Chain A
Amino acid sequence: MATTTPTRPSTEAPEDSGSEGRMLKLGAVGGDWLDRRVSGAGLVRFFGRKIFPDHWSFMFGEVALYSFVILLISGTYLTMFFVPSMDEVVYDGIYAPLQGAHMSKAYESTLHISFEVKGGLLFRQMHHWSCLVFMVAIFVHMFRVFFTGAFRKPRELNWLVGFALMVLGMVAGFTGYSLPDDVLSGNGLRVVDGLMKGIPIVGTYISMLLFGGEFPGHDIIPRFFTIHILLVPAAILGLIAIHMVMLVLHKHTQYPGPGRTERNVVGFPVFPVYAAKAGGFFFLVFGIITLISATTAINSIWVYGPYDPSPVSAGSQPDWYMLWTDGGLRLIPGWEFTIFGYTVSLNILLPMVVYGGLLAFLALYPFIESWVTGDDREHHLLDLPYNAPVRTGIGVAWITEYLILAMAATNDLIAVKLHLSINDLTWTFRIAFFLAPVIVFYITKRLCLAMQRQKRDLALHGEETSKVVRMENGEMIEIHEPLNEFDRWVLVQHDDYRPLKAGKGVSALRAAATSFFFKDQLAPVTPTELREALEHAGHERHKIDELTGGDYRTPDVRSH
C-alpha cells in the first residue's frame, strides 16, 4: 500500500502535498499495524464486497435500526438527569402551575429535564418520537417481509427474531413511557395491574411481586428503570446482532427480474455504494426525527400532572403500538362470574386470549404456510403479493383486526371528532371485529386474482396501444404491442401451486388447507400459450399490415 503514494502535480503547494503524503502513509501504516494485530482485512474485504439489492421497500429495517441508535443516544443523555425514584418531594422548579405540588422524584426530574436542562425537552421529544418511528419502521418492515414471502425457508428463524424484536419494542416503549410517573402513565400501569390480577389464582401474586406490594407501591419506577435501560435494550441489541448475522448468512432476498435467480444477488456492493447510501440514510433519519422533535410536542407530562391514583383524564390512551391491547378491553362486555368465592374476569381473560392468538399467529405464520404448501425449497426470490392471494388476504385481514382493536381504543376521540355516539361506535367495532377481517380477506383475495388475470393478459398479448383497426368484415381489432422479454419475465416467472388431494399420505386437513390456499390460483403463462399468443398476434398484425400498408393513421388524417 505504501508504494502507491501518488506523485503530486507541480501546481500544488509543496507543503500541501507533503502533509497529504504523510497522512496517506500514516493511514497505510496504521491500517497495517491494526491488521497485523486483529487481522480484520479479510473481514472488511468480505463485507465490503457483499452485494445488496436496491429497492426502497428494503430500507425500513434500516430505519428501525437507525431510530434504535437515536434511542440509545438520546436515552443516554436522559439517564444523566432522570431520577428513578418514587420518593415524594414538593416541586419548586420553574413551571409555575405545579409549584408547591407533591410529586415523585421521577416526575420532578422529568419536569427538570423538560424545562431546566439545556436541550432536555428536545432530547425527551427525540427519545419519544424515535420510539414511535422505531415501532412504525418495525411494522412496515414486517409488512414488507410478510407480503413478499421473505419469511420462507431459510429465513423462518429470522422472522421469529424480528417478531421478538417487535414484542421487545413494545415492552421497551411501555416501560419507558411509564417512567415519568405522570397521571397518564400511572393509568397505563393500573391497566397492566388489572390485566395481571385478572389471571386466575396467580394474578394477585404476580401483581404484588411486580409492584412490591399493593399498587402503586414505591418500587415500580426503579424496577421499570432497570428493565427499560438495561434488560430490554441489551436483549434488543443481542437480537439485532443475531438478525444481522442471519441476514448476512442468508444473503438478502431480491424481487424477481431478468438475471435474478435463487442462486445470485443482483445489486451493488456495500463498499462504496451501500456504505454511502446507508450512512446518508442514517443522517436523513436522524435529521427527520430531530426536525419533528424540535417542532412537534409529544407526551407533555406537565399537563397530565403528577401521578395520583384518583384522577383519570378523558382521552387516556397508550402509545400507538399498545393501542390494540386497550381496544379489546373497551369492546368486551363486563362478563364476570364467581366460582368458589373467586371472581373469574372473562372481560380481561378473553381479550388477553385474543391478543395472544393474534401474536402467536403472526409468529408462527411461516411454519403454518410451509406446512400447507409442503414447500421445502429455499426461496431468495420474493413473491409479488398478488401472486400469493391467500397469504396477502390473510395479512391484510390480520392488519384489519389489529386496526379495529386500535380504533376501538380511540373510540372516545373518534366520537368527539366525528360527532358520533360512543355507544354506537363500540357496537360497530364489536361487529367489525368478527366481520371485517373476513370481508377484507375476500376482497383482497379477489383483487389479487384480478391482478393476476390482468398481468396474464399483459404477458400474453402485450400493451394496448389504443390503435383500433376496423377490418373489411367490420371486425374491430386493437393493436397490441408485445412486451419486451425482460418485462415479460417478471410476469411469467412465478411458481405454480396446485391443491393436493387427500390420501396417499396427505391428510384431509392438509388437502383442505391447500385447496383454501390455491384452488383459485391462476397458472402462470406456459411457453406453449405464449407461443400461440405471439403467433396469433403475428397473424393479426400481418392482416392489418396488408390492409393498411403499415400506416395505422385514420384515412382522413392520412389524406392531409
Chain B
Amino acid sequence: MKALAARRHHPLAFVAILLLALVATGGLYAAFQPRSAQAESYSQDDVDKGEELFLANCASCHGTNAQGMQDDSGNTLGPSLIGVGAAAVDFQVGTGRMPMQNSGAQAWRKPPQMNDEQTRQLAAYVASLGPGPSVPDEEALSSKDADLENGGNIFRVNCAMCHNAAGAGGALTRGKFAPSLSGVESKHIYEAMETGPQNMPVFNDDNISASDKRDVVAYLKALDEQGSPGGISLGSFGPVTEGLYAWTIVLSLLVGCAVWLGAKAK
C-alpha cells in the first residue's frame, strides 16, 4: 500500500484513473444498453460484400466510412449510419426508399433496388460499424397469441395521429407525410418502430416493449385482412371522401333520375 500511496501524486495516476473510469462506464453501457436479440449472424464475407455495395451505391451521400456528409452550407446530405443497425438498412433498402430517388421533403417508397441478398450484405456492413437494432426474427413478428385489442389501443394512442386510425396515412409539415400502412410487410412495420425512419419517432423497447410492437403489427395485419365490412372503403379517409362521393356519384345518379322524370314524354 505504501508503494501505491507513494505514487498517488504521480502525474500518470490521474490518467490511469480516468482510463479505468472510462472503460468501466463504456463497458457497463455496452452491457446494459437496450438491444434486441441478435437474430442473424453475419459472416465477414457478408460485411466485405456489403462494404463494396455501400461504396458503390450509398457513399456519395453517407460518406465513404458511413460517417455522414454535409454540403458546403451545412445541410445534411446523408446522416451518419454508425449505430443505426441492420434493422434501419433492412427497412430503408428493403422498401426501396434507399438509395433515394431524388432529394426532397421525404424519401418515397419504390420497388427495391437491391435484392434480398444485397440488402442483407448492406445490413451486415452497417451493423459492423456499431451496435444497433437488428432485423427482427420470425418469433418477434409472430401474430400467434398476439393481443389485438392491446395492439389496436397502442396504435390509436401512439401511431394514428400521423398514420390515421385506419393506417391510411396522413400529412406532416412542409410536404412530409406519414405513409399508408396497408400492405406493408410485418418486419418493415416492426423495423420502422425500432429505428424511426425519416420523420418518425423511435419506439424502442423501453418505449413500446417487443411484445407490444408485435401486437401492433398483428393489429395492422388484422385490419388488412378483414378489409372493409361495410363495402368500398373509399381509401378509409373518413367523412371527406364520403362527402365527395355523395356530391359526385350519388348526386349524378339523382340528377339523372330527375332529368329522366322531368323529360317530356315523346
Binding site for B on A (CB under 8 A): 54-60, 63, 96-101, 114-115, 121, 125, 128-129, 132-133, 136-137, 140, 183-184, 277, 280-281, 284-285, 288-289, 292, 294-300, 302-305, 308, 310-321, 323, 409-413, 415-416, 419-423
- Closest residue of chain B to A312 (Cβ to Cβ) is B161
Q: Beyond A294-B231, A299-B239, is A421–B105 a contact (Cβ under 8 Å)?
A: yes
- Closest residue of chain B to A277 (Cβ to Cβ) is B261
Please, which residues of chain A bring their CB within 8 A of the CB of B226?
97
Q: Beyond A54-B262, A303-B165, is A422–B229 a contact (Cβ under 8 Å)?
A: no
Q: Which of B156-209 contact A (CB under 8 A)?
A: 156-157, 160-166, 168-175, 177-178
Q: B11-52 toward A: CB 8 Å interface, digit per residue (1/0)? A: 000000000000000000000000000000000000000000
Please tell me which one of the listed residues B223, B232, B238 contacts residue A184 in the complex, with CB atoms under 8 A apart.
B238
Interface of A is mostly: helix
Please, which residues of chain B bring their CB within 8 A of the CB of A419?
175
Q: How far is the CA of A300 from the CA of B162 in the complex (A)?
A: 19
Pairs of residues from A and B, 6 with the lowest C-beta to C-beta distance, nearest first:
A320-B243, A314-B170, A297-B230, A56-B262, A313-B165, A412-B171
- Least distance between A410 CB and chain B CB atoms (Å): 5
- Least distance between B102 CB and chain A CB atoms (Å): 13
Q: Are A305 and B170 in contact (CB under 8 A)?
A: no
Q: Are B257 and A300 in contact (CB under 8 A)?
A: no
Q: Are A96 and B242 in contact (CB under 8 A)?
A: no
Q: How far is the CA of A528 from the CA of B188 in the complex (A)?
A: 81
Among the 9-residue stretches B56-64, B75-83, B84-92, B244-252, the one with 4 or more Cβ atoms under 8 Å from chain A is: B244-252
Please, which residues of chain A bring their CB within 8 A of the CB of B55?
none
Most chain B CB within a 10 A radius of its CB, from A56, A60, A99, A100: A56
Q: Are B230 and A298 in contact (CB under 8 A)?
A: yes
Please, which residues of chain A bring their CB within 8 A of the CB of B243?
132, 319-321, 323
Please, which residues of chain B bring their CB within 8 A of the CB of A420?
175
- Least distance between B208 CB and chain A CB atoms (Å): 15
Q: Beyond A133-B246, A184-B238, A315-B164, is A114–B171 a contact (Cβ under 8 Å)?
A: no
Q: How far is the CA of A415 from the CA of B223 in the complex (A)?
A: 25
Please, which residues of chain B bring their CB within 8 A of the CB of A121?
229-230
Q: How far is the CA of A323 from the CA of B246 in the complex (A)?
A: 14
Q: How far is the CA of A300 from the CA of B257 in the complex (A)?
A: 29
Q: How far is the CA of A420 from the CA of B165 in the complex (A)?
A: 22
Selected A-B contacts with CB under 8 Å, 14 pairs: A63-B258, A96-B148, A97-B219, A98-B148, A98-B149, A99-B149, A289-B250, A297-B230, A303-B223, A315-B170, A318-B239, A323-B239, A421-B105, A423-B173
Q: Are A297 and B251 in contact (CB under 8 A)?
A: no
Please tell me which one of the listed residues A57, A295, A297, A305 contacts residue B152 in the complex, with CB atoms under 8 A apart.
A305
Please, which residues of chain B bring their CB within 8 A of the CB of A296?
230-232, 234, 245
- Least distance between B145 CB and chain A CB atoms (Å): 13
Taking the complex as formed, is B1 at the interface, i.e. its CB lies under 8 A from any CB of chain A?
no
Q: Are B264 and A54 in contact (CB under 8 A)?
A: yes
- Least distance between B162 CB and chain A CB atoms (Å): 5
Q: Are B239 and A314 in contact (CB under 8 A)?
A: no
Q: Are A56 and B259 in contact (CB under 8 A)?
A: yes
- Closest residue of chain B to A407 (Cβ to Cβ) is B240
Please, which residues of chain B bring their CB within 8 A of the CB of A422?
171-175
Q: Are A137 and B245 in contact (CB under 8 A)?
A: no
Please, how many residues of chain B have a CB less than 8 angstroms from a CB on the other chain?
62
Please, which residues of chain A bring their CB within 8 A of the CB of B228?
297, 300
Please tell me which one of the listed residues A114, A312, A413 contacts residue B240 in the complex, with CB atoms under 8 A apart.
A413
- Closest residue of chain B to A315 (Cβ to Cβ) is B164
Q: Are B257 and A320 in contact (CB under 8 A)?
A: no
Q: How far is the CA of A101 from the CA of B156 in the complex (A)?
A: 13
Please, which residues of chain B bring their CB within 8 A of the CB of A311?
156-157, 160-161
Q: How far is the CA of A295 from the CA of B231 in the complex (A)?
A: 5
Please, which residues of chain B bring their CB within 8 A of the CB of A56?
255, 258-259, 261-263
Q: How far is the CA of A300 from the CA of B226 in the complex (A)?
A: 12
Q: Are A133 and B171 in contact (CB under 8 A)?
A: no
Q: How far is the CA of A469 from the CA of B79 in the complex (A)?
A: 77
Q: Are B166 and A303 in contact (CB under 8 A)?
A: yes
Q: Are A415 and B105 in contact (CB under 8 A)?
A: no
Q: B209-246 toward A: CB 8 Å interface, digit per residue (1/0)? A: 00000000001001100101111111011111111111
Q: How far is the CA of A100 from the CA of B146 in the complex (A)?
A: 13
Q: Beyond A54-B264, A312-B161, A320-B239, is A300–B166 a contact (Cβ under 8 Å)?
A: yes
- Closest residue of chain B to A302 (Cβ to Cβ) is B229
- Closest residue of chain B to A410 (Cβ to Cβ) is B240
Q: Are B264 and A300 in contact (CB under 8 A)?
A: no
Q: How far is the CA of A187 from the CA of B235 in the complex (A)?
A: 21
- Least distance between B78 CB and chain A CB atoms (Å): 22
Beyond A101-B152, A316-B238, A422-B172, 8 additional contacts (C-beta under 8 Å) are A59-B262, A97-B219, A101-B149, A323-B239, A420-B175, A421-B105, A421-B173, A422-B173
Please tell me which one of the listed residues B149, B163, B230, B234 contacts residue A314 in the complex, with CB atoms under 8 A apart.
B163
Most chain A CB within a 10 A radius of its CB, from B164, B223, B234: B164
- Closest residue of chain B to A98 (Cβ to Cβ) is B149
Q: How far is the CA of A54 from the CA of B153 in the complex (A)?
A: 56
Q: Are B237 and A101 in contact (CB under 8 A)?
A: no
Please, which residues of chain B bring their CB within 8 A of the CB of A128?
242
Q: Beyond A56-B258, A59-B262, A281-B257, is A297–B232 a contact (Cβ under 8 Å)?
A: yes
Q: Are B246 and A295 in contact (CB under 8 A)?
A: no
Please, which residues of chain A bring their CB within 8 A of the CB of B262?
54-59
Taking the complex as formed, is B5 at the interface, i.e. its CB lies under 8 A from any CB of chain A?
no
Taking the complex as formed, is B3 at the interface, i.e. its CB lies under 8 A from any CB of chain A?
no
Please, which residues of chain A bring their CB within 8 A of the CB of B240?
315, 317, 320, 323, 409-410, 413
- Least distance between B229 CB and chain A CB atoms (Å): 7
- Closest residue of chain A to B262 (Cβ to Cβ) is A56
Q: Are A300 and B230 in contact (CB under 8 A)?
A: yes
Most chain B CB within a 10 A radius of its CB, from A128, A296, A305, A411: A296
Q: Are A320 and B247 in contact (CB under 8 A)?
A: yes
Taking the complex as formed, is B4 at the interface, i.e. its CB lies under 8 A from any CB of chain A?
no
Q: Beyond A285-B257, A312-B161, A320-B246, is A300–B236 a contact (Cβ under 8 Å)?
A: yes
- Closest residue of chain A to B247 (Cβ to Cβ) is A136
